Amino acid sequence: MYTLTEKAENGLQFIEIGNSQNASKATLCLNQGGRLSGLEFDGIKVLADFHPSTYGKSYASSILFPFANRIKDGKYTFDGTDYILNCNEIDKNNALHGMVYDKMFDLVDQELTSDAGEITLQFTHNGTNKGFPFQFQIQLIYKLTRDEFSLATEIINLDTKPFPFVLGWHPYFVSKNLEESHLNFESKTQFLHDEQQIISGTIPFDMDMPYQLKDVKLDDGYILESNKVEFLTPEYRLEISSTSKENYLQLYTPDTPNVIAIEPMTGANNSFNNKIGLQILSPDKHYHVKWTIAFENRKTKIKTNQLIT
């Protein structure tokens, strides 16, 4: 049976969904944008364990809305009006990672069975932010099973005016040995970036897959040709899939060893200006996207194959 536990640590509120019988567990932090702060399958940690105090720098597993990654100088024009967002990336003078990553989310629904644990978190924006003065509601539906975790995001326009948006997710995954790990995804186009890490153009991308993460330093964006990204480590395999029609990917390797951010997005960096993947949500309309992480324990699979042989 899946259970839900609420706890408080260091002034933060957490919710843990888990099942002790199959050792799957997911932890969410309500204060930090309702983000996923821990994920385990078969007792194996797949999500990097950043301390909550470092969240202001890592943005680990933050929900990226209404824009993903950066808006150059925090400036954009929509429907004939100029707006200026708060530039929280001080050194590059950019607006970074949207505006819900630090908001308090409320638990509004839960469903716990023997097969799955599901919760719904919610935040409502009253439109008082001058850089994005639109009323909206965002719901995060997290679901955990024995070998899958999903994040379904529902955006509702509560305003009388349409607004622009892109949606993304910023999880960091951990490997026991990143240099012996691989990525597998379909892309023909990689973005180029300027000194502010803003998209400045594109180049053809033609990399043999799976791509070994040996001696690499990444902070790169891609247009995906499919809705799936595969991450293979010595311990486990993940398949990250999306229900979005258009899919973009950001890869980032921080200074922390054996950690990589694999960020699915519905649009690109600086989308409010370059319009890449940008969508418009009309009043009273809804937008829905779901990202699913499918887990496979590679050690168990190897043992099973050996027994069959």
DSSP annotation string for 246-257: S-EEEEE--SST
| Helix, strand or coil, per DSSP, at residue 44 | strand
Global pTM? 0.95
Q: Give me the pLDDT at residue 301, please.
A: 64
Share of the chain above pLDDT 70, in %: 97
Express each pLDDT in 11-23 by its tens digit: 999 999 999 888 8
What CATH class has 3-308? mainly beta
Express each pLDDT in 37-82 by its tens digit: 999 999 999 999 788 889 999 999 999 999 999 999 999 999 999 9
Share of the chain above pLDDT 90, in %: 93
pLDDT class of 283 with cuts at 50, 70, 90: very high
Q: Give me the pLDDT at residue 277, please.
A: 98
Residue 309 CB contacts under 8 Å (≥ 6 apart), including other chains: none
Q: Give me the pLDDT at residue 304, please.
A: 43
* 66 preceded by a cis bond (ω within 30 of 0): yes
In this structure, are residues 252 and 263 in contact, taking their beta carbons and an 8 Å threshold? yes
Of 113, 147, 110, 175, whose CA–CA distance to 22 is shortest?
147
303 pLDDT above the threshold of 50: no
Of 279, 281, 33, 280, whose CA–CA distance to 157 is shortest?
281
307 pLDDT above the threshold of 60: no
163 pLDDT above the threshold of 80: yes
Domain ranges across the chain: 3-308
Distance between CA atoms of 58 and 36, rounded to whole angstroms? Answer: 13
Average pLDDT for 149-175: 99
Block residue for tokens 């791509």: 211
